[in-house]
Structure 1
Amino acid sequence: MVGAVCRTLPLGMVGSAGAAGLLMAALTRTTGEAGEWLALPLLRAAILAFAVGLVFLLDDPARHTTSTVPTPRPVRTGLRVALVLPLMTAWWTVALLLVPRDIRPPVADITLEAASAFALALTAAVIAVRHTDLTHPGPRLAAGLLTSAVLTLLFWPDRWALFVPVQDDRWAAAHDRWAVVLAVALLVGVLGVGEPVRRWSWRGGPGRRSYS
């Protein structure tokens, strides 16, 4: 089963997004004196780029033909995530190393931001697969993720700030919030990975009752 799942993984999309993210991280080495204040935004942009690639992870043109296999959906989904975890870890390690040490943000805190973004992306994919009949929800999820990121930057209340500079007094509090985001994303993802009882179309209408 591992071989079959590997063949259906959208590694091209994930790899392209990861390459774009690494390019953004590498730009921190070319910014000269501006690198100190550009390093964090560029690394966050790299995280977003890779997260956009992760929303494609559960895209599967054959999902309707494999819905009758005896292996439960949570196992199939968990296997996909497990197979990509080493890639995620390696990608993040390289992204951090591309940022010069003297301007690198606190590793534990920025890793928490990355883990939260990746968990949100995967959870969005899980929910889309459970509640729609789409075989390729990735493009719509990617657009939604990018739009959400922009709206969060523009309109998120300051008292609950998430994207703050390292020197900001709210840095520690912001990362307490990131920990909550990560926990909620993981919880929703785990609860949403089960077999659907009722499907909904992307337009919001109830679909046929299904156990696929």
Structure 2
Amino acid sequence: MRRLTRALAGPVWRTLPWRALGSAGVLGLLLAGTPRLTGAEPSPWQTLTLLRGVALVGALGLVFLLDDRARHLTAPVPTRRPLRQALRAALVAPAAVLWWTAVLLLTPAGIRPPAGDITLEAAAICGLALAGAAAAVRLTDEPRPGPGVAAALLVTAVLGPLLIPAEWALLVVPDDPRWPAAHDRWAVLLAAVVVVWAVSGPEPLGRRGRRRPPGAVTVPGPPGAPGGHG
């Protein structure tokens, strides 16, 4: 397994959507660094909102992680799709961790929300993006589902806080007594999206047998064989 993973790392690295990931990363860092660049002194609430926006920008980059133009060519290969998807995530994870660390360091310590809690929120949002991308790959034949998943994530980010009952609120401020309970819910959300991603990983059995790469030629079997000409 280790040898197979090493052999796959290079080809997978070259197919990663670096333009989308890089654009989201640069935009997120610019947003996080805006107060320092402009000399502004945002309030703790504004800083929290800014960090949540940066986390959403990062998630919008990650929805493109599973886009693969060669998807219909790689579907029949022996390497299972969960391994290929996990490898994509593993290759991006170190850069994502460094990026989020830089975002937190760009935020003045005096007005920064609790780092562990806001990191949990960011992880859940990014996990939601990856779970949505994995579900789109499983449920559709679209090789590049990223744009559709990004639109769905934006709609969820806008409408979700308006539709969630107040007692289940996720977007609260640190001095709100609901802050600890809200982050318990963030932890549950993170666990749920990890499960959704894991369930969405395997190729559906019915589709696996039907999918062939474009241009593939079906060779008839001998007379009397399944699929052959008798």
Amino acid at match of 2:24: A
Maintained 8 Å contact 1:195/1:211: no
For each residue in 1:158-191, what CA deviation from the matched residue of structure 2 results, as whole angstroms up to 9, or x when unmatched?
Answer: 1100000111111011000000000101111112
Residues 1:166 and 2:174 aligned together? yes
- Aligned twin of 1:130: 138
Identity of aligned residues (%): 53
Q: From 138, 157, 160, give the equivalent of 1:149.
A: 157
Q: From 4, 7, 10, give the equivalent of 2:17.
A: 10
Q: From 129, 133, 137, give the equivalent of 1:121.
A: 129
- Aligned twin of 1:205: none
Displacement of 1:25 after TM fit?
Answer: 1.2
Displacement of 1:141 after TM fit?
Answer: 0.5
Displacement of 1:209 after TM fit?
Answer: 6.7
**Mean Cα deviation higher: 16-25 or 45-54:** 16-25
Maintained 8 Å contact 2:70/2:143: yes
Secondary structure in 2 aligned to 1:190? helix
Aligned residues: 204
Displacement of 1:34 after TM fit?
Answer: 3.1
CA radius of gyration, larger in = 2
Equivalent residues in 2 for 1:42-61, closer than 5 Å: 42-61=50-69
- Aligned twin of 1:89: 97
What TM-score comes out, normalization by structure 1 length? 0.91
- Aligned twin of 2:191: 183
What TM-score comes out, normalization by structure 2 length? 0.84
Equivalent residues in 2 for 1:66-105, closer than 5 Å: 66-105=74-113
4+ residue stretches of structure 1 with deviation over 2 A?
Answer: 27-37, 208-212
Displacement of 1:211 after TM fit?
Answer: 6.2
**In structure 2, C-alpha distance between the alignment counterparts of 1:170 and 1:9, rounded to whole Å:** 39
